[in-house]
Structure 1
């Protein structure tokens, strides 16, 4: 007999009880099917199909028209959590509204990205908020609270944080390992995730493609020993796309997919995103893993329970009830105004020598490759509204007062049979679909338009060099040349885009001309009877430049009162998901444009619209004004114009350090921010623009800074006054610094901030509550978080380098640690310093070991302040794939013990070997620094000193 009113449908019961009732009604096969991203319906129970994953990084993505807000790094630049919370609320509301009309839209949103922007060459820099964990977590908490809503039971959407853990490179991203020592793990990478999870508005996390300390993140032990210890609520772990298969196919971590899928499930992965909508592959692997005894029913139930809890929280089993059930709020006037407000608050004024704001009635020349662009990125929705810098300046200053020069090189391409010609199209320049959105079909190469040909007539093309020889070509009708699946070259794309960009080319010198390489296919453009198409052997083209971009820029600039050069990146080219940048330098084409403009007119401002920082030291020296904004979404142009005109005083602040040159950067794969001096926390050089930097059209005075400890909190207060003549926002930043700590600590570290608006002459007294625990660090000698006793400085200012007030407080805490060694294992990864080593996996499930990072070169670990009193011997726990050695020395070179390590049965087969300490041992002489040299293919797990 069918249960018409089962308990899981009874909204009066506790949610946990309802989840257990539904879980108990499912068969094993039905449970396994729920573990795939696309979970099928269970029709016999009336349970709908469900999918995890809806991209919503800065608006609803991939589902057509939606409000497009500034990129995440732009939201980070606002330093305004209240604003970001409202953006999250708007995105969540639109997700619900879009779900009501399109069942493909998901309510489990994969956002925000809280990976820290450690390295500015990371291709996905645009997706994160900041290089600082405190700022990142503050913005992430705000965005997730907006997405989740504030109802105690029902969730508007269920946010999932990306990407767990220590993920900052696209280069070989599924096979590279981030070597992350405990201090960096706890003080930096985990910190951004932890605060957001503890705030209670997060439904789960997504592991990243990379490995950490030699172990794939989809098997991370920290999913259990960290993540799920931070909260009592259920959290769902969703795999990244294709990552479960990577465990075998590219990472070779397991021999069979049954082993790897079972290991991921046991490690805490609940939802498997693999093989698109085809769930049969993952279902089969899980079923066979169960049959082989690799997982049991409890493992499966645990994951399904978490997934069901999320679905109950979203109201799936209480249709029509709750505050978020009614679909409303799509492309509202409020959302449009919010997109503009966010774009305005994200603009950062980098330099201003009295050029800005631009006076009313001024003649403005707008120059640059991004001057008439409103670029989208991989995680953008489709634009309903569009505002470019040129649009915004024409609207603000009047079209008659604004002249424009894009600055693209104009070229004609010559072939053996004549000239390259773009056939005329009967379609309008930009076809628009429903609700006025740009037709997404124009983002890919089309086959319904005629291919390019070679003949007597030539078409003039706009050729843009985006750096490293990567070119795009635009036809006279505004469309980009693109290659479709049939291989023909057409003017068919509104913008470069797609997972594999089909609109980028390279000119390769060949004889007296050039081969035109299509980057997306790696083939060359050839001339056939039916049109231009890609082939293995290409045509030799001649390139005739009819107008150089810098000449057009100079001509436009010469007669203007003010010149605005708009430069930056296309988010689909040279720096994006799957592709890291090679350099901080501005592409040469754009560098030439600003130089040509300022040579023609000294009153030139450079606006950088980009997903990441640039090294523009020459521009800073030569130009009176520079600004930066991330790609600002649908209202970017209007917002920028209002800032340039002074309608809004700029108050965005840099969320990451802008370095002066590539030489300031560490290796992309060096994740040890402490050892290699990364981010503003540890960088010892002079940046071009420091973390937190941003200027204003007014001035502010800081005074009266005080700090007083009250139990577990330090209350820091100060007064800020607007001493200028215009109403403006100020971002007050509070930093801390440990003055007496025996281990390396940040030069200064953000503790709190506040964005506030002040009228001319107005003052505000601000108070910040800094938990004493936030002054601590991960003490490797003690193996835990520690606040040491001593003096701590509190620094208030307008950036990390513009400190206006300081005050020092004495904080009670623990004494500096001497590392206890006798009878207590010293974990190899708990070193204080290292040279030439990597942390690797001690076992497939958990634990760390250390090995030399370069074949044939030794590595060294340093353990500071070791108490060796009473030590008479030492043992090492090691594995080796060939002969190696471990040597322990004191700082003066005295050898304490030396071990020849023979090959063991494998990297996970550890043996323990002991030696008596040398007669020159340090007994009775106080703490010592112990240096451990590793040679050969050795993995050192731990040391143990004994009496």
Structure 2
């Protein structure tokens, strides 16, 4: 059912409602209207990387990890599993008449904000720092959630529209000031693609203001762009409490009644919060009209019709509860987890280890036995968890595995934990190889109110520095003192600097993110060489001290596209256990943009996947342009010695650059396209040992 037909049917139903009933339906916890046969409907549900907060579900790697796969097709498979489990849960909840919170099919996911600053605690929920990668992954996720059937399998909701990425502590009163160029070049593309290409059916407005106006009552973002230029067909919901902030924190209106009225009239259909209870006062004082109420209610009921709620035979009603975290879903979860692990360093091919030859392994660190670190935030509850220690024991069956936490994430080494360091050191000093699992978890990076503050390190969910917490830095030093055969596994939702000594001393370093319920198994299989890692960094790890002020939303000096200093680990970078050669780059113009063809050969000794990356460089002196811009990706799997002509189609959208007024224009000096397994910058060339191919795109 398309939106037009659903809206027609919705309008017939909404016409039967009184003004008071319409108002009641604009609250996220919409009550039943028994005289019309309408059930209660709580719109709030979450599914960033699995159905969250509602019992057993497949817990996939956190979003930032899945972004590291650079594989939209695999992400769509994961999202399809998520929507299957969503239907399974809904079928049971509906059977028992439970339509409360976390029970329905309207999911406030994905988060397609740009991870512009690696200190942001909620960056783990995003697809990284790049607008193209975020757009591609976001569209893939939306496609998997919503499906291709006659009815929506579930309804996705892209958030937080549109300029939102910290600081968490200031989100309720902050004004994100951005130029037109940054708005259209960085912050809007993923939302534009979600609306115009993926037909996302929900948009959530952010807490903050953008250029002076609250994001849930924004004339330009909502009226001119979303409902105007993009012709959005879906519903708009406020973040939870955001309309309360319009008066209480932003002081944009003179009362909550006025806040409710201005939000509704500017296009916010649904209030997560209670301020829309004030709409009755707004209606009685002529601040809003019945037409305003009808429009919003019709948008909301169109989605419910598209989900098949009012059909005699409910769609997808045959999906059983037994699909939840079932063996086939766990198998896909393991595939996904393997594709998230970024190999940052592998000195002298130290990895992979041989399970037959390595007799003793120390598995050390505060995350080595942690379940919480597997999950990230907005998590479900898996039926099976495999920690890193579990995975190493399972894969290295002939090895003795010495396990020690060494310290806590952000405390330890003192008082009751005085012996923790020595236990970790003892394990490491008596093992042939030490696997040191350090990093963070959602207790110290995450959303405001959901993460702890650690003095001098993190505040309100955001980090203050890019290094490890002090106690972990001390643990790393002590482990470096007692072993040379060290593998560091960084488990975090953001890039973490383990320190100069550790980077130099460790034989191998792996960025593992929050790898999902079976992530420990994936890490162990990587260590044992059961697959060649193929993940790439979806966000830059800059060198310490080079970041702009966190509150500055200008893109100058941020992300790989506008950095001026060489980073520690660049966006798009990652190593494998096999090598790929690129040659014979060809480019041609097409009606839709450009077609890029490059020959890729596996020149190494094992089969492997390679995420082929295409970048554009724009020649234009009239305004600032990015250092380069990712514009195409395709994963190819090759056996040793095998070659393939990889074809990547680049949409014309990404062949244009953005001027100072926010217009997409053809660069005056044309476009040069680059192909390789990383971005075309000196630091990536240095780390990988080769440069990307390049070719000017002819008109």
Q: TM-score, normalised by structure 1?
A: 0.68
1:38-187 superposed matches below 5 A: 38-102=29-93, 103=98, 104=100, 105-151=103-149, 153-169=150-166, 170-187=168-185
Q: 2:335 aligns with which of 331, 341, 350?
A: 341
Correspondence for 1:352: 346
Cα displacement string for residues 454-484 of structure 1 (whole angstroms, at most 9, x for unaligned residues):
xxxxxxxxxx351xxxx489xxxxxxxxxxx
Query: Please, which moves more after superposition, 14-23 or 543-552?
Result: 543-552
CA contact (8 A) 2:412 2:471 kept: no
Which secondary structure state, in structure 2, belongs to the residue aligned with residue 74 of structure 1?
A: helix
How many Å separate the matches in 2 of 1:612 and 1:76? 12
Report if aligned partners of 1:52, 1:238 keep a CA contact under 8 Å in 2: no
Q: Sort the Cα spacing of 1:472 and 1:36 in 2 relative to 1 into closer, same or farther, 3 A.
A: farther
Please tell me whether residue 652 in structure 1 is matched to residue 535 in structure 2.
yes
Shift of 1:36: 0.4
Task: Work out the CA distance in 1 between the residues paired with 2:652 and 2:377.
Answer: 41
Equivalent residues of 1:178, 1:212 under 8 A apart: yes
Preserved CA contact (<8 Å) 1:372 1:388: yes
| Aligned partners of 2:593 and 2:655 also within 8 Å | no
Q: 2:251 — aligned with what?
A: 252
Native 8 Å contact 1:374 1:633 kept in 2: no
Q: Which residue of 2 aligns with 1:807?
A: 694
Does structure 1 retain, via aligned residues, the 8 Å contact 2:7–2:301? no
Listed as ranges, the gaps of 5+ residues in structure 2 are 450-459, 686-690
Distance 1:711 1:382, change over 3 A: closer
Correspondence for 1:903: none
- Does residue 684 in structure 1 map to residue 546 in structure 2? no
1:287 and 2:286 equivalent?
no
SS of 2:371's partner is coil
Residue in 1 that maps onto 2:453: none
State the distance in 2 between where 1:771 and 1:545 align.
Answer: 59
Match of 1:306 among 295, 299, 303: 299
Q: How does 1:357-372 map to 2 (within 5 A)?
A: 357-361=352-356, 362=358, 363-372=360-369
Q: Within 5 A, what are the aligned runs for 1:138-537?
A: 138-151=136-149, 153-169=150-166, 170-221=168-219, 222-229=221-228, 231-232=230-231, 234-275=233-274, 282-283=276-277, 285-323=278-316, 326-328=319-321, 329-353=323-347, 354-361=349-356, 362=358, 363-375=360-372, 376-398=375-397, 400-408=399-407, 464=408, 466=410, 471=411
- TM-score, length-normalised on structure 2? 0.91
Pairing of 1:759-774 with structure 2 (within 5 A): 759-774=639-654
Give, in whole Å, the separation in 2 of the partners of 1:193 and 1:164.
8
Measured in 2, the distance between the counterparts of 1:575 and 1:154 equals 34
Equivalent residue pairs, number: 663
Determine if contact 2:619/2:667 at 8 Å carries over to the other structure. Answer: no
Identify which of 622, 637, 653 aligns with 2:520. 637
Question: 1:581 aligns to what?
Answer: 463
Cα distance change on mapping 1:592 and 1:472 into 2, 3 Å? closer
Kept in 2: contact 1:194–1:230 (CA 8 A): no
Q: Report 1 or 2 for greater relative contact order, CA contacts < 8 Å, sequence distance ≥ 6.
A: 2
How many Å apart are 1:62 and its aligned residue? 1.2
Match of 2:454 in 1: none
Match in the other structure for 1:845 = none
Task: State the distance in 2 between where 1:568 and 1:288 align.
Answer: 51
Matches of 2:7 and 2:174, distance apart in 1: 40
* TM-superposition CA deviations, 1:504-538 (whole Å, max 9, x none): xxxxxxxxxxxxxxxxxxxxxxxxxxxxxxxxxxx
Partner of 2:496: 614
5+ residue gaps, structure 1: 1-9, 276-280, 409-463, 474-542, 813-947
Task: Choose from 472, 475, 482 the match for 1:590.
Answer: 472
Runs of 4+ in 1 over 6 A off after TM superposition: none
Report the Cα offset of residue 374 of structure 1. Answer: 1.9
Residue 861 of structure 1 is matched in structure 2 by none
CA distance in 2, matches of 1:195, 1:636: 31
Q: Counterpart of 1:896? A: none
Deviation, structure 1 residue 564: 0.5
Name the SS for the 1:747 alignment partner.
coil
User: Which structure's residues are more often helix, by fraction?
Assistant: 2
The 3-state SS of whatever aligns with 1:54 is: coil
2:15 and 2:294 in contact (8 A); partners too? no
2:623 maps to 1:623:
no
CA distance, structure 2, for counterparts of residue 42 and residue 726 of structure 1: 62
Question: What's the CA shift string for 1:422-468, capped at 9, x where partnerless?
Answer: xxxxxxxxxxxxxxxxxxxxxxxxxxxxxxxxxxxxxxxxxx351xx
Of Structure 1 and Structure 2, the greater strand share is in: 1
Q: Which residue among 599, 607, 613 is the counterpart of 1:719?
A: 599
Structure-2 change in CA distance of 1:807 and 1:646 (3 Å): same
1:350·1:628 contact (CA, 8 Å) conserved in 2?
yes
In 2, are the aligned partners of 1:234 and 1:309 still within 8 Å (CA)?
no
Corresponding position of 2:424? 553
CA contact (8 A) 2:57 2:325 kept: yes
1:697, CA displacement in angstroms? 0.2
Deviation at 1:232, TM superposition (A): 4.8
> Could you tell me how far apart the structure 2 residues matched to 1:558 and 1:158 are?
53
CA distance in 1, matches of 2:36, 2:383: 40
Q: Distance in 1 between matches of 2:325 and 2:244?
A: 39
Equivalent residue for 1:33, pick from 24, 31, 34: 24
Return the offset for 1:385.
0.9
Deviation at 1:369, TM superposition (A): 0.6
**Whole-Å Cα distance in 2 between the matches of residues 356 and 54 of structure 1?**
41
State whether residues 377 and 446 of structure 2, in contact with CA within 8 Å, keep that contact through their aligned partners in structure 1: no
Contact 1:154 1:323 in 2 (8 A): no
Q: Cα deviation per residue 1:202-257 (whole Å; 9 max; x = unaligned)?
A: 11111111111121111122112112245556210111111111111122111111
Task: Name the CA shift for 1:50/1:230 in 2 (closer, same or farther; >3 Å).
Answer: farther
Q: 2:434 matched to which residue of 1?
A: 563
- Residue 546 of structure 1: how far off its partner (Å): 6.5
